[in-house]
Structure 1
Amino acid sequence: MNDQTPPEPSGGRCPVAHGDGATRLYGPEASTDPHGIYARLRKEHGTVAPVLLEGDVPAWLVLGYRENRRVLDNPLQFSRDSRIWRDFAEGRVEPTSPLMQMVGWRPDCVSQDGEPHRRLRGAVTDNIYAVAGRGIRRHATHFANKLIDAFAVSGRADLVEDFAEYLPMLVLTRVFGLAEREGRSLAESSSLVLKGGADALTHNDRIMAILGELAARKRDEPGSDFTTGLIEHQAGLDEDEIVNHLRLVLITAHTMTSNVLARVLQMVLTDTSWLSGLVSGQLTLASVVEEVMWNQPPLTVLPGRFATADLELGGCPVKEGDLLVLGLAAGNHDPEIRPDPEVSVQGNASHLAFSAGPHECPAQNIGQAIIETAVDVLIHRLPGLRLAVPPAELTSTASTWESKLDHLPVEFAV
């Protein structure tokens, strides 16, 4: 990586976030070619660009790797607390906006900074570490085999729809103490919350209702699960804090793990050198995951940070209360740190996929364990596993926040 500070963009213009000419991060073009939008914005504006989110809500999109790190590493300048968001405080964003499911304030650790954040994050991380030692790989093996059993005799499958889309949530139902039957519908609701649109609020309410019932049941019937751990933690979380942290971990862990698993499977099936390296033991799955994290991070854009004062970022005049969204995919492809994106990044874990700073994702080991187990089970259960269509036919659909592989059709021996 190049350690020199990148020059300010020359020839670009950087209007204020509320000015005319901002690019929409939603709509037809954004759903099919988000990277094309990032490249155009970088050319026009440099490392920070004015954009419009769903409902034409203005924000700054941070495109540069170093600028992303500055925002993520400095909560005193860039707070996660949306109660200082000027557009919402002044009534330009309605409480019912689909954006609120992603950027609105909640009584959870990602919505707060300082001591409140440390208290709540401690409860989450303590229980994640405890759960990680209680059979994550065993649960992943059980559910991976169960999903494979449903299509193994056919010789064909779609590894997105039939496998990656649901496996992480099924594991999480076991971790949380939920009934397995909730897994598929919770996975679908989580995806629709991330997708945004008119249904986001409905599906978020559904998730909250299920988790509220779970928390009430676990107060009466405690167990060795993540939910009970939050309830009994010494941080003394109240009912709203417990349910909102269950929501946070459920949606985030499922979404990130599902997306990465699909992309890892895509990589090993479209490039035979990756698959043969895994089968022969010459390549570790961690190396494949690392490559995916750089090139196709599970969240392409991370919501959101709010400027605590007037300041300059990437040559742009960010005002107090402005919303910033973090371009994780754009930052990972910043030509200032990756002048040749075709060069492998194996051994370099400094990608932005897990965020960074005080709010860095604490559940990385759980996701890694599920992915490693899932790929291992698939390779050993399905002899002759191969892609059923040319790689060029694989497509993705993006929302503001993520880019999901649509399908991954495969064939295998029966």
Structure 2
Amino acid sequence: MTTNTPPSSPETDNPRQSDHAALQQIPVPLYGPEFAADPHGFYTEMRRKFGSLAPVELSPGIPATLVIGYRTAVQINNDPERFRADPRVWEQDIPLDCPVLPMLQYRPNALRSAGREHARYRKASVDSIDAINLYQVDMTIEQIALAQVNAFCGDGNADLISQYALPVTFAYLNAMVGCPADIGQRVAQGMAMMFEGNDAENGNALFVRALGELVALKRHTPGNDVTTRLVTHTADLTDDELVHQLVTIYGAGIEPLTNLIANTLLLMLIDDRFSGVAALTTRDALNELLFTDPPLANFGITYPPQPMMVDKVWLPANQPVVTSMAACNNDPAIVGQYNGNNAHLAWGTGPHACPAQDVAYSVAQNAIDQLFDRLPEIQLACSPDQLGWRPGPFHRSLARLPVVFPPVREGF
């Protein structure tokens, strides 16, 4: 399967020029440790070689086009007729054990549908999320965060991924959708397997089974939560559709929100601008990170139903076109124009933009503030260049974030 190859022309019929073009079109793998260690170096090199659209592989043998130009990404993501989010034609030829299939495959939800289907699913999700009380979010995160800090504050050291960012995110999402901890644990496990491409097929199955149990629970025992609002919404969603609305919520929540908290904590721990009397705020750090190194680095996936010419590049029909929010935000063509006005693409853009960004922002800000309020002398336990990043084509995710601090007694 060839990526970004135009139809035959006098230029491409020349053997020497064809060999040169083929060499230039070798896809860049996004799934290995090399990319995870230095994605921005890869984006810079891709921009030099390919311009705004780069041929990539999401996993071995799975080609895609990565959008690394800001204006091109805005154009594509706001053109749902020519760039549809429905992957059903593409996935017909994809093996079931493909590591990225669970992240890209069709699901009856707003993220993976188009047209009337998308409008119906989107309204149900937006209405259910918009009913969340943001003031209550602050109170809930304060309770969750304090309990989590109390579990390690006397030790003098911690890993802020496994002991803080992930459990705080996990606990809040469970509270938001009304999910008991035992079901939620299986949801988190399946989601992690899917993002990493580690036994993704079984991870997807685990994920979907757990969410099916949650839907059944809420039909029997409703509550004041997102799942209940989805169950009772006028869209009259089936059980299968309900499960896949929750897939979107958890998928957009667990990994990206954990990474947003952890990566912003790292920025604040290593950058002197966030310490001292005149320090920049947590809000400043979040805004900067969402611009420069967003936690969901490459997503916003569409599938053009026919070959499309964009920026003088032919995009093959029904092959994934993936927006690199990380690369687009750092596009030299726009850097300096948009800084400070939140015009980053970290939340997506167009009809598939994240509907829960206010909630996610509030969770992250409160989680970070609670940690620094409780442990103001916290420091990174190693050199930043000793930190490792988890491989995967979609996320920007630290493997660990070890810290040290003077031990303190549990608070209330």
Q: TM-score, normalised by structure 2?
A: 0.88
Which residue of 2 is the match for residue 33 of structure 1?
Answer: 38
Aligned residue for 1:405, secondary structure, equals: coil
Whether 1:373 aligns to 2:366 is yes
Which residue of 2 is the match for residue 23 of structure 1?
Answer: 28
Which residue of 2 is the match for residue 290 of structure 1?
Answer: 287
Whether 1:263 aligns to 2:260 is no
AA partner of residue 81 (structure 1): D
1:371 and 1:207 map into 2 onto residues whose CA distance is 24
Name stretches of at least 5 consecutive residues in structure 1 with no aligned partner: 1-11
AA partner of residue 224 (structure 1): N
Residues 395, 195 of structure 1: alpha-carbon distance in 2 compared, 3 angstrom cutoff: same
AA partner of residue 389 (structure 1): C
Residues 38, 356 of structure 1: alpha-carbon distance in 2 compared, 3 angstrom cutoff: same
Q: Please state how far the C-alpha of 1:133 moved relative to its aligned partner.
A: 4.3
Q: Please state how far the C-alpha of 1:184 moved relative to its aligned partner.
A: 4.6
Deviates more, 1:284-293 or 1:207-216: 284-293
Aligned residue for 1:131, secondary structure, equals: coil
Q: Please state how far the C-alpha of 1:16 moved relative to its aligned partner.
A: 9.1
Which residue of 1 is the match for residue 356 of structure 2?
Answer: 363
Which residue of 2 is the match for residue 319 of structure 1?
Answer: 316
Residues 273, 217 of structure 1: alpha-carbon distance in 2 compared, 3 angstrom cutoff: same
Aligned residue for 1:302, secondary structure, equals: strand
1:333 and 1:250 map into 2 onto residues whose CA distance is 27
Q: Please state how far the C-alpha of 1:348 moved relative to its aligned partner.
A: 2.1
Q: Please state how far the C-alpha of 1:57 moved relative to its aligned partner.
A: 1.3
Deviates more, 1:392-401 or 1:164-173: 392-401
Pairwise CA RMSD: 2.5
Residues 179, 324 of structure 1: alpha-carbon distance in 2 compared, 3 angstrom cutoff: same
How many residues are matched? Answer: 391
Whether 1:406 aligns to 2:411 is no
Aligned residue for 2:334, secondary structure, equals: coil
Whether 1:232 aligns to 2:218 is no
Whether 1:310 aligns to 2:307 is yes
Q: Please state how far the C-alpha of 1:347 moved relative to its aligned partner.
A: 2.1
Which residue of 2 is the match for residue 247 of structure 1?
Answer: 247
AA partner of residue 136 (structure 1): V
User: What CA deviation, in whole Å up to 9, does each residue of 1:355-387 have, x standing for no partner?
Assistant: 100000011111111112111211121132222
Percentage of matched positions with identical amino acids? 31
Matches within 5 A, 1:110-259: 110-133=111-134, 135-197=136-198, 199-259=199-259
1:117 and 1:353 map into 2 onto residues whose CA distance is 21
Residues 260, 184 of structure 1: alpha-carbon distance in 2 compared, 3 angstrom cutoff: same
1:391 and 1:275 map into 2 onto residues whose CA distance is 17
Asked if the contact 2:329/2:344 (under 8 Å) is kept, the reply is: yes
AA partner of residue 200 (structure 2): A
Aligned residue for 1:336, secondary structure, equals: coil
AA partner of residue 276 (structure 1): G
2:22 and 2:351 map into 1 onto residues whose CA distance is 26
Which residue of 1 is the match for residue 4 of structure 2?
Answer: none
2:185 and 2:97 map into 1 onto residues whose CA distance is 26
Which residue of 2 is the match for residue 6 of structure 1?
Answer: none
User: What CA deviation, in whole Å up to 9, does each residue of 1:323-378 have, x standing for no partner?
Assistant: 21111111111111127xxx9x7522111111100000011111111112111211
1:390 and 1:24 map into 2 onto residues whose CA distance is 28
Which residue of 1 is the match for residue 54 of structure 2?
Answer: 49
Name stretches of at least 5 consecutive residues in structure 2 with no aligned partner: 1-16, 408-412
Asked if the contact 2:189/2:207 (under 8 Å) is kept, the reply is: no
Q: TM-score, normalised by structure 1?
A: 0.88
